[in-house]
Amino acid sequence: MLVAAVLFSVMGAMVKIAIQQYGVLEIVFYRSLIGVIGLYAFVRWRRVSLATPVASKHLARGVVGTAALSLWFYATGELPLGTALTLNYTSPLFLAALAVGVSLRAGDHVDWRLVVAILIGFGGVLMLLQPSYSEAQVVAASAGLLSGVLSALAYWYVRTLGRVGEPEWRTVFYFSLSGVVLGLVGTAIRGFSPHDARGIALLAGVGITATLAQLAMTRAYAYGNTLVVANLQYVAVVTAALLGIAVFNDHIPLIGWLGIATIIFSGTASTVLIARQRDSSGADAPPGGPTPSDRP
């Protein structure tokens, strides 16, 4: 999981550089294309089938996931690297809020500690955003936060696909395929950018680091403790913030760092509380953290 966290941070840094030369959807297209090629090679090697009886669910997950990925890439190009990644990693807070809403609607007991953790987390969002972006960057900040919302929604789709027996590699493949199709359509409208050696290296780097990060994350979830793995993901936030300072000379004031720390604490607390609630009730409630096929 630590390897995955570092690779996701490096991918974000390369996206931030590549976006100076390529459009957001163009980067999404090439990033997804490399994933599709790699996963298709895996399918051929394992001699398994890509046929699925739940194509509509894959389509919904693919559209939502690609939208989240595109918004995150856009925010990465406009905001400090650590800020953009932190906003995307607010998805556990939205998952927890959704779980509370479902419980209230069903008339079930709601853990007040979870509500407090959610409120503290969104307080951290306010602390992070207040000093970290100018008025001109409000659209990018909103895009980053919306990417967190959509990532949470994508997680619910992944859970649904898992319940009907879809293997994870198939879910990731169709997610990548959705990125290829939607990215290609958007790029065709905007027009393809000219390539040079630097641009090709950046696009290849984005695709390769994303694929390797997902493989590392998949192994972590397959063999590690789910709670430990889900919480170690936040190493990516700190790594991205430090990488942003070192490479892009990003400036995050003290209150911004406090906001990042608050979001990490709240996301971790929400993950633990929901997992304990699931274990005590025996229900198939989501643990609150993303799965390997959920994170861009």
State residue 284's pLDDT score: 45
pLDDT tens, residue by residue, 180-192 = 999 999 999 888 9
Task: Please indicate, yes or no, if residue 295 is contained in any of the structural domains.
Answer: no
pLDDT tens, residue by residue, 61-90 = 999 999 999 999 999 999 889 889 988 888
Task: Please indicate, yes or no, if residue 291 is contained in any of the structural domains.
Answer: no
Residue spans of the chain under pLDDT 50: 283-293
State residue 278's pLDDT score: 65
Task: Please indicate, yes or no, if residue 84 is contained in any of the structural domains.
Answer: yes
State residue 293's pLDDT score: 47
Closest CA to 7 of 261, 264, 211: 211
Task: Please indicate, yes or no, if residue 293 is contained in any of the structural domains.
Answer: no
State residue 185's pLDDT score: 95
Alpha-carbon distance values, 272 to 120, 208, 267, 287, 289 (Å): 15, 32, 9, 8, 9
State residue 60's pLDDT score: 93
Task: Please indicate, yes or no, if residue 288 is contained in any of the structural domains.
Answer: no
Task: Please indicate, yes or no, if residue 290 is contained in any of the structural domains.
Answer: no
Task: Please indicate, yes or no, if residue 158 is contained in any of the structural domains.
Answer: yes
Domain hosting 125: range is 2-281
State residue 144's pLDDT score: 92
State residue 231's pLDDT score: 79
Count: domains in the chain: 1
Task: Please indicate, yes or no, if residue 10 is contained in any of the structural domains.
Answer: yes
